[in-house]
Amino acid sequence: LLKSEVRTIAARQKLPSAQRKDSQGICFLGKVNYNEFIERYLGRKEGLIVELETGNILGKHQGYWFHTIGQRKGLGLSGGPWFVIKKDVNRNIVYVSKGYDTRHQYGYVINLQGFDFITRDIWGDFTGEKEITFKIRHTPDFTRGRISRIGDLYRIESEVPVQGIAAGQFGVVYDSDSRLCLGSGMII
């Protein structure tokens, strides 16, 4: 079901959650501040903020884990608006651009590690590719693609360019009809 359909059912049943505002953070944290929670578990580690197009160093940040792809607020940079376009998690660099729709933010290939099936591996051992739909962002839209397995790594090749592929976030895989969620893995 789509979220809108669930809300309609909840409204018909007069459930209080039918009118609840959508969560923009980590729902299980409750009233805890996201950055405080992350800092408590991951700490701080100073890194560079670099302009994607020029390579110019624009500033410093306290850890790439505090920033998300598409983020605009909280970067502490002047001359903007600046948007987080990508992150180099190995070198702790956050890349920004003044244009949110730069060509660097789109890709066709998404690699997933630690893939977990919701029930069982419906494909078993397979070679080649399987047709799927998938999501990598908080959007109601499904994207069509093909998935292949290379050892423990799953590789999605999208039919269209995908915006905001970000290491550390999750890709969720569905059957080709977008009706059955099969599982998910972390984007690397």
CB 97 within 8 A of CB 130: no
User: Percentage of the chain with pLDDT > 90?
Assistant: 39
Going by pLDDT thresholds of 50, 70 and 90, the confidence category of residue 171 is: very high
> Is residue 53 scored above 70 in pLDDT?
yes
Mean pLDDT of 4-19: 78
> Is residue 25 scored above 60 in pLDDT?
no
Q: Kindly report, as residue ranges, where domains of CATH 2.30.30.280 are found in the chain.
A: 34-97
> Is residue 23 scored above 70 in pLDDT?
no
> Is residue 82 scored above 90 in pLDDT?
yes
User: What pLDDT is recorded for position 59?
Assistant: 96
Superfamily of domain 105-187: Translation factors (2.40.30.10)
Q: Kindly report, as residue ranges, where domains of CATH 2.40.30.10 are found in the chain.
A: 105-187
pLDDT tens by residue, 109-163? 999 999 988 877 777 777 889 999 999 877 778 999 999 998 889 999 999 998 7
Neighbour tally for 113: CB within 10 Å: 12
Q: What is the 3-state secondary structure (H, E, C) of the chain?
A: CCHHHHHHHHHHCCCHHHHCCCCCCCHHHCCCCHHHHHHHHHCCCCEEEEECCCCCEEEEECCHHHCCCCCCCCCCCCCCCCEEEEEECCCCEEEEECCCCCHHHEEEEEEEEEEEECCCCCCCCCCCCEEEEEECCCCCCCEEEEEEEECCEEEEEEEEEEECCCCCCEEEEECCCCCCEEEEEEEC
> Is residue 101 scored above 70 in pLDDT?
no
User: What pLDDT is recorded for position 10?
Assistant: 80
> Is residue 24 scored above 60 in pLDDT?
no
CB 147 within 8 A of CB 156: yes
Top-confidence residue, 69 or 180:
180
> Is residue 93 scored above 90 in pLDDT?
yes
Going by pLDDT thresholds of 50, 70 and 90, the confidence category of residue 12 is: confident
Neighbour tally for 55: CB within 10 Å: 8
User: What pLDDT is recorded for position 34?
Assistant: 78
Looking at the domain covering 34-97, what would its CATH class be? mainly beta
